[in-house]
Amino acid sequence: MKKKGCRPWVVMIIVLSFFLFTGTVSAAEKVVKLGLVLPLTGQAAPVGEFVKMGNELAVEEINAAGGIKSLGGAKLQLIIADHQMKPEVGIAQAERLVKEEKVAALLGGYMSAVIYTSSQVGEKYKVPFIVQGGTSNNICERGFKYVFRAIPNSTVYALDILHPLKDISKGTSREVKRIGLTYEMTSYGKSNAEAIRGGVAPLGMEIVADLPYPPQTTDFSLSVSKLKAANPDAVICVPYVTDAVMLVKTMKEMDFNTGGVIGTGGFLDPTFTEMLGKMADYIFQVAYMSENMKLPSAIKFHQNMMKKYGKPATGDAAYSYTGMYILRDAIEKAGSLEGTKIRDALASLDEPHPPWAICSITGVKFDEKGENIYARLCTSQYLKGQWWTVWKPEVAKTTAVWPVPKWSERK
């Protein structure tokens, strides 16, 4: 009588089933889910699109280069959530990304008030949160261990607004000593205004007009009247984009002239120049980069943005791109998707000039608060229909026009 045994076809089915099953598990393990909370609706939606592009471009490059090698070539998967510029929506979306999508880390794309709330989710669940946009100092002043800001905070913003004003105007017919300040009364605006107030005296400057305004203001004639009366050498604006456009239009309508107008926030929004047209000429912005910047890596980034999206490189795309690479480096170093290990890797990063440094964020090293000590800013001026980097000297491609022509002298 023949001994019974497994027939060859039975063995083959078992072997194939094993490989199919283990292959599925392996594939699942080779995906690193990352949650991105950003505005895709509301007035900040155009900025949100550039934040999205910068992240997507970085993810595409990282995956094409072999993914996370310490995790066997794991590929990054970006899961995007719209916070709608609402803090309560931001925190709900962050919760969903952690609890339902099981993301290994979170990134916050724009707007301080929303980042302040949504980053609490990272701390609560011990999931690292990379702040890619949101400058208010209070974000990193809560003693959190899982929140890391890739970009400059409000204090650095203030210094990198004031120093270029001093340097650019030095030796001209209108050196900056008297400053007009206008800002939206949100967490973002107030934090930046406070930092600017604290930075003027050491540079021999003073604020001669301090003009806050409530959100959704539609008439800036009173603010501009007060600026005209104060006659500052420069005006610093901390608005969102709608406010920024209305401010500049009102300055032209009321023929308010000064040495120059420099802004952040809404000035960086790509729709700012689109809505103003020639009225945007000679405006300054503090930024992470411009498409015209004397930095080979920045030029390449701009070319890649144009190739993939048909859009120029903006500061918002740049800080998003660099923030993703910072997170990549931490996951690579951790060799794990465990939140605590990624967090520890982030805290130990020290990269002053990594290859992904495409802008004024020259590298990464976090202090005890989670602030990136290598995060700085440059200054751009809108000339001939483009933003041109005019400060710092080592990356500037042209010289700033200062003082700017009066409205009546412009063609």
pLDDT digits (tens, 9 = 90+) for 71-80: 999 999 999 9
pLDDT at residue 16 tops 70: no
Residue type, position 302, single letter = H
Instruction: Give domain status of residue 397, yes or no.
Output: yes
pLDDT at residue 17 tops 80: no
pLDDT at 27: 41
Cα within 13 Å of Cα(355), Cβ side:
5
pLDDT at 25: 32
**Residues 261, 165 share a domain:** yes
How would residue 235 be classed by pLDDT, with cut points 50, 70 and 90? very high
Instruction: Give domain status of residue 3, yes or no.
Output: no
**Residues 85, 49 share a domain:** yes
**Residues 262, 299 share a domain:** no
pLDDT at residue 305 tops 80: yes
pLDDT at residue 19 tops 50: no
Query: Mean per-residue pLDDT for 52-56?
Result: 97
Structural domain containing residue 201: 155-287+379-409
pLDDT at residue 28 tops 90: no
**Residues 398, 255 share a domain:** yes
Give the largest Cα separation in the chain, rounded: 112
How many helices (H) and strands (E) in the chain? 12, 12
Instruction: Give domain status of residue 196, yes or no.
Output: yes
Pair 205, 179: CB distance under 8 Å: yes
**Residues 181, 133 share a domain:** no
Number of domains in the chain: 2
**Residues 240, 106 share a domain:** no
Higher-pLDDT residue of 384, 81 = 81
**Residues 193, 141 share a domain:** no
Q: Which two tokens stand for residue 391?
A: 């400060």
Place of tokens 């302040």: 116
How would residue 290 be classed by pLDDT, with cut points 50, 70 and 90? confident
Cα within 13 Å of Cα(168), Cβ side:
29
**Residues 262, 385 share a domain:** yes
pLDDT at residue 15 tops 70: no
Query: Mean per-residue pLDDT for 40-60?
Result: 94
Higher-pLDDT residue of 42, 327 = 327
Residue type, position 139, single letter = I
Instruction: Give domain status of residue 20, yes or no.
Output: no
Q: Which two tokens stand for residue 15?
A: 């072997």
pLDDT, tens only, 344-364: 999 999 999 999 999 888 999
pLDDT at 7: 57
Place of tokens 């996951």: 331
Instruction: Give domain status of residue 305, yes or no.
Output: yes
How would residue 29 be classed by pLDDT, with cut points 50, 70 and 90? low
**How are the residues of the chain apportioned to helix, strand and coil, as percentages rounded to the nearest 5?**
45, 20, 35
Express as a percent the part of the chain with pLDDT over 70.
93
pLDDT, tens only, 112-135: 999 999 999 999 999 999 999 899
Higher-pLDDT residue of 344, 298 = 344
pLDDT, tens only, 163-201: 999 999 999 999 999 999 999 998 889 988 999 999 999
Instruction: Give domain status of residue 7, yes or no.
Output: no
pLDDT at 188: 84
Higher-pLDDT residue of 297, 328 = 328
pLDDT, tens only, 85-100: 999 999 999 999 999 9
Query: Mean per-residue pLDDT for 29-53?
Result: 92
**Residues 273, 209 share a domain:** yes
Higher-pLDDT residue of 266, 97 = 97
Instruction: Give domain status of residue 2, yes or no.
Output: no
**Residues 176, 77 share a domain:** no
Query: Mean per-residue pLDDT for 393-410?
Result: 94
**Residues 135, 272 share a domain:** no
Higher-pLDDT residue of 359, 23 = 359
Task: Name the average pLDDT for the chain.
Answer: 91
Instruction: Give domain status of residue 13, yes or no.
Output: no
Beta bridge partners of 10: none
Beta bridge partners of 2: none
pLDDT at 10: 43
**Residues 250, 192 share a domain:** yes
CATH number at residue 327: 3.40.50.2300
In angstroms and rounded to an integer, the radius of gyration of the C-alpha atoms of the chain is 24
How would residue 289 be classed by pLDDT, with cut points 50, 70 and 90? confident
pLDDT at 20: 41
